[in-house]
Chain A
């Protein structure tokens, strides 16, 4: 009896989770690659001519001039005329991010990338080798600085939400770049911060919480959950219960989600591609060209993953921001498929039926209701299916090996075509 009591009373060993964040990631990678810019204000910015002339990352020196992420390049130049502007090289950033993942994995196998520059590490099982969590964080920090020239900051806590909170609110601002946030100290730390500093709370939610009289994270944490649900229901309707609970848990540092390395392997709900056009497309023939190119990409990705889709969706957004036009519609095809021409036929049908004739700036195609492609319904009318599929397997293999622009449809070399251009990009920015 005594034994049981004592065991129950003993503090269970807590998990130790790190959220590691890379400072000004794209800019740091570029500065490490080009030592001549070491003491210069550097930004990585999208190509101005292609409507994406915004700051993707600014180095700490540039930030001292008041340059901020996501502002327009012109505004930054006004603040800092000597700014060094570098075009993004997305593939390089992915490669460096993967190198960093491998470094983390040399300390623990539980590593979950959360974005290109943030990753969770569960180091509970590694601490006996490295001592305290801070000592381990310092070791990793020094190694990444030395090998890649990137400065990393570490939030340390017993779960992911507190680790993320510790990093965003404290580790990013102190001298060591490392901060431990114990759950017992929330009252003196996290809870004193204004509500806008909380994870998942943007400017809109800040206004709403302030209107409810909740101006600090502590006030949110101490509002009974049922009361919070009531308050949120009044503003957002019946369906806000889950979000209420989510905010409440974040404020209280409650999070039992695991650090899951395989998290990116889940089967997708849908596969889609969207593209902002370099100029407005006003003719049906032109829009059809990008529609085909996007359909090809979507189907290619489905084929690569072994999926077929049953429902195809097409979206077009009008060019005039002041008078929003466009549509987003979907239809169910006769059978699930990942054959480009079949999906394209349905996509064109949607386009012709719903396009209002206004110039278009953005086009998107996606396939959903996915199923495995190793079994499919034989069609009475499409006897060439096996042949088409073999052809697509061959072109996919060539593209995988030599790049997407090595085999193109003839329409892609017309002025409306974007495939060649797109093949050189990742996330809308150059590889």
Chain B
């Protein structure tokens, strides 16, 4: 009962929504949250390539910002392997796609 007086309680307890309408609203909200790929220019790619290569050669920690449709995803670790044929790299035994990289920074 108390909830009516808190937050959005007054409106959440009094509204009339068709379940099908709610589904449509939530689907629409989820679609709005979908992230778009960031296009990197040549210079930025060069920076990413250099950082990745350095991590691989010098066993240095790196933080890579990756594309994910709904989440903020950053891969942190040391690049163990690069597989140019399949366009992927390995950190901690897990493969990631090179084309999903959106930015790189050294991780202290």
Q: Enumerate chain A interface residues (CB-CB to B < 8 A).
A: 90-91, 94-95, 97-98, 101-102, 105, 112-116, 120, 160-161, 200, 239, 242-243, 245-246, 249, 255, 257-258, 260-266, 301, 426-427
Contact = CB atoms under 8 A, between A and B. Distances in A.
Interface in B1-51: 1-2, 4-5, 7-12, 14-22, 24-26, 28-29, 32
A261 B29 contact: yes
Contacts of A258: 7-8
Contacts of A200: 14
B29 A257 contact: no
B28 A101 contact: yes
A111 to B, nearest CB: 10
B16 A115 contact: yes
Nearest to A240: B1
Given A113-B17, A200-B14, A257-B10, 4 more contacts: A257-B7, A257-B11, A263-B8, A266-B12
Given A114-B11, A161-B10, A426 B26 contact: no
A243 B25 CA distance: 30
Contacts of B8: 257-258, 260, 263
A94 B15 contact: no
A258 B1 CA distance: 19
Output the residue of A101, A113, A116, A200 with the most chain B CB within 10 A: A113
A243 B11 CA distance: 14
Contacts of A94: 18, 20-21, 24
Nearest to B12: A263
Contacts of A266: 12
B18 A427 contact: yes
22 contacts: A94-B18, A94-B20, A94-B24, A98-B25, A98-B28, A101-B28, A102-B28, A112-B11, A113-B17, A115-B16, A116-B17, A120-B11, A242-B2, A242-B4, A255-B10, A257-B7, A257-B9, A258-B7, A261-B29, A264-B25, A264-B29, A427-B18
Contacts of A242: 1-2, 4-5
Nearest to A301: B19
Interface residues of B, number: 25
A263 B2 CA distance: 18
Interface of B: 1-2, 4-5, 7-12, 14-22, 24-26, 28-29, 32
Nearest to B20: A426
Contacts of B5: 242, 245-246, 249
A200 B8 CA distance: 15
Nearest to A242: B1
A8 B104 CA distance: 45
Given A94-B20, A426-B20, A246 B25 contact: no
Contacts of A90: 18, 20
Contact of A113 (B14, B19, B25): B25
Nearest to A91: B20
Contacts of A102: 28
A228 to B, nearest CB: 14
A98 B29 contact: no
Nearest to B25: A264
Given A114-B15, A200-B14, A257-B10, A97 B2 contact: no
A299 to B, nearest CB: 15
A264 B4 CA distance: 16
A426 B23 CA distance: 12
Output the residue of B1, B7, B11, B24 with the most chain A CB within 10 A: B11
A188 B19 CA distance: 40
